[in-house]
Amino acid sequence: MTTTNKTAKTEILVEPGTQQIVMTRAFAAPRELVYRAFTDPELLVQWLGPSRMTMTIERHEMRDGGVWRYIHRDADGSEAAFHGVIHGEPSLEGGVVRTFEFEGFPGHVSMETLSLEERDGKTFMRTNSVFQSVEDRDGMVASGMESGVNEGMQKLDALLARLVAAR
């Protein structure tokens, strides 16, 4: 199922029964700059995660076998930490391949591929996260992104409208 709303520019494809989440978004900037925003820790810390959380980068080794670890902290002090390993040398052409593990759900590791393509002066980002099982995919997101769930409650009508449209 695809989730979008009127203002949403990020498209998230969560095909029921599969092990992956595909996310796409276009940015009005050259590819080099978008790549820098993903790989330069000083830039990454400025945008990753909701603004109400403080993002700390503990490790950020952008090389084959390099380790990354990020921590999100809420105003009330609650923490969510994520870590993984970079696979292959990250590059503009080849993108970034890494493993991802939410520490609140240990042992459930996913593999993420980030690719950036430039077309018509825009950069098209695509991330593909592949989980070990369908249950892992659904469970990781359900536990890891819990804090946003209540705020982002969508109407059942909207889902049903999509179901009808998908018929």
Partner 1 sequence: MSADQLSAVFGALADPTRRAILARLTAGDATVGELSAPFSVSQPAISRHLKVLEQAGLISRSRHATARLSHLQAEPLREATAWLAGYREYWEESHDRLDALLRELQTQQDEDKQDKQVERPQ
Q: Using CB under 8 A as the criterion, which residues of the chain lie in contact with partner 1 when the complex forms?
A: 1, 3, 8-10, 12, 14-17, 21, 23, 25, 27-29, 33-34, 36-37, 43, 46-51, 134-135, 138-139, 141-143, 145-154, 156, 158-160, 163-164, 166-167
Q: Which is nearer to partner 1, 94 or 148 (CB)?
A: 148
Sheet with 11-13, edge to edge strand ranges: 2-3, 11-13, 20-27, 122-130, 110-119, 95-102, 79-91, 67-73, 54-60
20's tokens: 């992956």
How would you label 10-43 residue by residue, b for 16+ Cβ within 10 Å and e otherwise? eeeeeeeeebbbbbbebbeeebeebbebbbeeee
The distance of closest approach from Cβ of residue 18 to partner 1 in the complex, given in angstroms and rounded to an integer, is 8
At which residue do the structure tokens 């980030």 appear?
A: 114
The distance of closest approach from Cβ of residue 64 to partner 1 in the complex, given in angstroms and rounded to an integer, is 25
Q: Which is nearer to partner 1, 28 or 75 (CB)?
A: 28
Find, among 45, 123, 46, 111, the residue nearest to 84 by Cα: 111
CB atoms within 10 A of CB 107: 7
Q: Which is nearer to partner 1, 88 or 142 (CB)?
A: 142
At which residue do the structure tokens 């018929």 appear?
A: 167
Q: Which is nearer to partner 1, 7 or 76 (CB)?
A: 7
The distance of closest approach from Cβ of residue 76 to partner 1 in the complex, given in angstroms and rounded to an integer, is 18
The distance of closest approach from Cβ of residue 10 to partner 1 in the complex, given in angstroms and rounded to an integer, is 5
Q: Which is nearer to partner 1, 1 or 64 (CB)?
A: 1
The distance of closest approach from Cβ of residue 55 to partner 1 in the complex, given in angstroms and rounded to an integer, is 10
